[in-house]
Amino acid sequence: MPFSLFLDAFIQRKIPSSSGEEQPVGYLAQYDLLAKAPTLAEEAPGLPHTRAGPKGAQEQWRSNVWIGPAGTYTPLHRDPHENMFAQVVGRKRVHLFAPDLAPFLYINKSGVQRNTSTIASEQELLAPSQDRPLLSNALASENSFVAELGPGDVLYIPQGWYHCVQSLSTSASVNFWYL
Q: What is the CATH number for 42?
A: 2.60.120.650
Identify the pLDDT of residue 55. 46
SS3 of residue 147 by DSSP? strand
The range of the structural domain enclosing residue 119 comes to 3-178
- Predicted local confidence at residue 52, as pLDDT: 41
Rounded CA-CA distance 77/49 in Å is: 26
Query: pLDDT tens across 50-100, in order?
Result: 544 444 555 566 788 888 889 999 999 999 889 999 999 999 999 999 999
Is the pLDDT assigned to residue 166 strictly greater than 80? yes
Asked if residue 77 lies in contact with residue 117, where contact means CB atoms within 8 angstroms, the answer is yes
The pTM for the full model equals 0.79
Q: Is the pLDDT of residue 25 over 70?
A: no
Tell me how many domains the chain contains: 1
Lowest mean pLDDT across 9-13, 83-87, 97-101, 105-109: 9-13
Cα 98 to chain centroid distance, Å, stands at: 16
Task: Please tell me the predicted confidence (pLDDT) of residue 54.
Answer: 45
